[in-house]
Structure 1
Amino acid sequence: MKRRDFISWVGLGWIASSLPIAIAACSSETTTPKPTSSASGDWQKVGTTAELDKTGQLVANDSPVGPVLVVGKSQSENLIAVNPTCTHKGCTVAWKDQAKKFACPCHGSEYGADGKVLKGPAEKPLKTYAAKIEGNSVVVKPS
């Protein structure tokens, strides 16, 4: 085999082995880490009432159920809790209190308080959680 042929085959092999990685990196699908707790269906602590009451929002990126954004006050009966990862390209959405919706700063997607898409380009809703106060803790449960 000639040296030029050998180098061509090695180059072709390198390109072929790199293709799956390149395709995966360009994928628009986002994944949410699976809960590592054996009690993944149970209520999980994501923060304290003091943290929530400070700004009316509590962000827990490394909670047992994955990323969680809780909106409300500890005295409120209706806490809102969602995974704040935009279902379009994975940016982090922000709660717009005046408009009562979540907005993605990257591509303009908007979601209602229930996580449903109000405005695209996102097509899938945000994952939602049941949320409540237990003592001085804010806890969530996948809904």
Structure 2
Amino acid sequence: MERRKFIVQTATPFLVFCAACSKSGNSTNSSSVDFTIDITNTITTPGSSITRDGVIVVRVNAQNTNSSFIAFQVECTHAANPIVWNQSAQQFNCNLHGSVFSITGAVINGPANRPLKAFNLSLTGNNLRVTG
């Protein structure tokens, strides 16, 4: 087999895999997000989360203030795999390729190279409104 043909045949599956990984991970709905969560019925304890409309909302502490909650796009910016909240480490993990994001959505560990999109939160009584 000639060298060029060998390289093309052996490299093609790898390149297809890489192309799939490099697709845009920002597939969170392009339409705006606007929903309300009753915090007395959901995300009642630190570390609990809810996913809705492409957003993961996490309760990071037991207080009832805006800063007790965070909301980010649920898809990793690398390959659009859903992220999960790791309460003990206070970070988001992507279990597909190992990307890690901070509590602010910043990339801690790649292969992701873009931060998570953050959403606005406002707490009125027991209603947490998520917009963005």
2-structure distance, mates of 1:74, 1:138 = 13
State the aligned residue count: 109
Listed as ranges, the gaps of 5+ residues in structure 2 are 1-15
2-structure distance, mates of 1:28, 1:82 = 19
Change (3 A) 1:46 1:58: farther
The within-5 A match list for 1:1-143 is 26=20, 28-30=23-25, 31-35=27-31, 40=32, 44-49=34-39, 50-53=41-44, 56-62=47-53, 67-72=54-59, 73=62, 75-78=64-67, 79-142=69-132
CA RMSD of aligned residues (A): 2.4
Higher helix share: 1
Listed as ranges, the gaps of 5+ residues in structure 1 are 1-21
Shift of 1:135: 2.9
Give % identity: 30
1:5 paired residue number: none
When normalised by structure 1's length, the TM-score is 0.65
* 8 Å CA contact 1:133, 1:139 repeated in 2: yes
Shift of 1:74: 6.0
